[in-house]
Amino acid sequence: MPKSTAAKIAASLEKGQISPVYLLTGEDLFRKREIIQKITAAVQSDDFNIYSSSADKADIGEALALANTAPVFSDRRLVILTGIEKLRKDPKEALIHYLENPLDTTVLILTHDDAKKLKAEKTLSAAAAAHGESANFDELKREELAMWASNRLKEQGLNARFDAVETLCEAVGGDLNALAQEIEKLTLYTADREDKTISKEDVLAGVGFSKEENPFALSNAIQYMNKSRALALADKLLDSGEEPVGVLGKISYPVLKMARIKRMAQAGMASSEITRAAGLMFWETSLVNNARNFPSEAVFLKTLERIIETDKSFKTSAVSDPKTAIKGVIMTLFSGR
């Protein structure tokens, strides 16, 4: 089965090229659902010629009998079986037998959600190899997630700056369904605007933060080595009622990231290698370039020890003044500056 991608499948569908078998693997259910919708739209079968079921609940004999039956008053029949990794031995063998000689007028869509298990099911993959397309839908990594969000915004007629995409992905995370919903909200938010360029402030407003409540401001101040701003933002967050443990988390995350970057840079790794190994967004290369200005490894170790001690004191209520404790962590990081 030729390896493909969602984009390649979509391009083939637009040209009217429809395969009799599609094997969609990986754990990203959202992108699988989207490509299934595109295939379904391209096939244009009516309800009478469509069968869809999760594999563990399906009567596989009935499903394959339908797959082997010519469509009624339609060019194609569509059969969808999701989660085929749950099939037992006999139903799976029946499916493999069908895949060895699929009916040209049937489009069979199979989803397999267990990447590790798929590696051991070479017979099933090989049986479909000569007749269809296979595409893998692993969960997107940080850089891929940003690219997905950027493309999704463009599809909605929106342009976004790098920092806006970064903020969107950081705020929402890797849940594509949630990201799609937030992008839809941004579309509505900018509906009356002539300029469709999305800023970081637009994103923060859309996900429920005001400009003054940017949830990443403290982390950014830490990793870009702005001591005065970091101290002021820590004060502001604590004064506004944020839990000290939460503020400490906004400090510890960038400190760990910076320490990893510093160690890899000192080991002589190239910027591109560091960006990939540290799991950085593609617009975070400035952090790699700025690694020479980061504190020494000794200072990072002292800071991390201080973070652990402070975290323990917060959780045991052993600290009388959280603000002083937080400032102590920041001052340790910026010692000598």
φ and ψ at residue 186, rounded to 5 degrees: -65, -35
Tell me the fold of 3-136: Rossmann fold (3.40.50)
**Which class is 142-211 in CATH?**
mainly alpha
The DSSP result for 246-285, as a single string, is: HHHHHHHHHHHHHHHHHHHHHTT--HHHHHHHTT--GGGH
User: How many whole angstroms separate alpha carbon 215 and alpha carbon 237?
Assistant: 10
Pick from 130, 165, 141, 114: nearest CA to 283: 165
Q: What is the pLDDT along the chain (337 residues), one digit of tens a residue?
A: 457 888 899 999 999 999 999 999 988 888 999 999 999 999 998 889 999 999 888 999 999 999 999 999 899 999 999 999 989 999 999 999 999 999 999 999 999 988 778 888 888 888 877 788 888 888 887 788 889 999 999 999 999 888 889 888 877 777 788 888 889 888 888 888 888 999 888 888 777 665 455 667 788 889 888 888 889 889 988 988 888 998 999 899 899 999 999 999 888 888 878 887 877 765 566 778 778 889 998 999 999 999 999 998 888 877 778 899 999 999 999 986 6
Q: Does 3-136 match 217-333 in CATH topology?
A: no
CATH class of 217-333: mainly alpha
pLDDT on residue 1: 47
Tell me how far apart the alpha carbons of residues 244 and 231 are, in angstroms, rounded to a whole number. Answer: 14
The full DSSP string for 284-313 is: GHHHHHTGGGSPPHHHHHHHHHHHHHHHHH
What's the DSSP call for residue 150? Answer: H
Are 151 and 179 within 8 A, CB to CB?
no
* Intra-chain end-to-end CA distance of the chain, in Å: 59
The two three-digit tokens of residue 7, written as one number: 């984009």
Give the domain ranges of the chain: 3-136, 142-211, 217-333
pLDDT score of 329: 94
Locate 329 and state its tokens.
Answer: 């962590």
